[in-house]
Structure formats: structure tokens, C-alpha cells
């Protein structure tokens, strides 16, 4: 699966309003990104990256993720947006595992995201770059600094 196809599938299946991120020429670094929007007016910017197939197979793991019940008003927890991404990702191809970063024993620095592993050893990675509250601009200073809710 290519990042383009993965992004198109996410955009088609997400239960959170989403749109493609602007191309890399904007300085966002989001060539294959997705921007999710929530009722508060906040946005989360997610980058999609891929790993090519490799020898061996992906390790089996959790692939049953359900869409979350999102709040109708106020801030939305980033973990709920991450869960919505996971619920959409399990329907793309035939993943052997969909791992949420926030559910790991030791989450990576970005805090929120997914690894979607496939049997051929390939994987898609969805990583949070910005979590912006209403009216907040993207800057280098707030990149990779997740807020718990937006």
C-alpha cells in the first residue's frame, strides 16, 4: 500500500472530519498528511509515512479498533482522534496489527499516532505533528508537542 492510497482510505473512512494536509511546499512536511478537525475548532495534523515490504512477516497484534464516541461540544481528547484513525486503518488492506502510540507501555515522544503492520513486513506510520487549539498557528515551537485535548 502506498501513502497516497492509505491517506485516501483514511479520508474515506474516518468518523472525524478530515482533509488532506497541504503539499510539502507550504513547509508543513506533510506530503501525505491528514488534518483532523473537531467541534471546538481545533485541528490535529498527522503525517503518514511508509515502510516497504521486507523479509519475514508482521507480528500479529490487535486489529479490532472501534470508532470512539466523540464529544458534541468542547475539546476532543487526542486519544479519541487517534482511536478514530485506528478504527479507519483496520479496514485498509489486511493489517496484522494496528498499534496506537498512546497505548504503548513507553509511548514515543510524539505521544499519539499509529503503526499499521502488514503480513509482508510493510507498515504505515501515522504520527502527530501538531495539535492546535482554535486560533493557534502551526510553528516549529509547537510541533511534536501534543496537547491532551483540542
pLDDT tens digits for 5-55? 999 999 999 999 999 998 765 566 678 899 999 999 999 999 999 998 876
Phi, psi at 77, each rounded to 5°: -60, 135
Question: Mean pLDDT score of the chain, rounded to an integer?
Answer: 87
SS3 25: helix
The pLDDT value recorded for residue 114 is 94
Q: What DSSP designation does 65 have?
A: -
Could you tell me which of 74, 78, 82, 77 has the C-alpha nearest to residue 40?
Answer: 74
Query: Could you tell me the pTM of the whole model?
Result: 0.87
Amino acid at each position: 500500500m502506498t501513502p497516497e492510497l492509505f491517506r485516501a482510505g483514511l479520508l474515506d473512512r474516518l468518523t472525524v472530519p478530515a482533509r488532506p494536509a497541504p503539499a510539502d511546499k507550504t513547509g508543513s512536511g506533510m506530503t501525505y498528511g491528514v488534518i483532523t478537525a473537531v467541534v471546538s475548532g481545533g485541528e490535529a495534523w498527522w503525517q503518514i509515512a511508509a515502510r516497504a515490504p521486507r523479509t519475514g512477516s508482521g507480528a500479529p497484534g490487535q486489529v479490532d479498533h472501534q470508532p470512539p464516541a466523540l464529544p458534541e461540544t468542547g475539546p476532543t481528547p487526542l486519544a479519541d482522534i487517534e482511536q478514530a484513525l485506528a478504527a479507519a486503518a483496520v479496514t485498509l488492506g489486511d493489517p496484522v496489527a494496528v498499534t496506537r502510540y498512546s497505548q504503548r507501555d513507553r509511548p514515543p515522544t510524539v505521544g499519539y499516532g499509529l503503526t499499521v503492520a502488514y503480513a509482508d513486513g510493510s507498515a504505515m506510520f501515522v504520527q502527530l505533528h501538531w495539535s492546535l487549539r482554535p486560533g493557534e498557528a502551526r510553528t516549529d515551537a509547537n510541533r511534536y508537542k501534543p496537547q491532551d485535548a483540542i
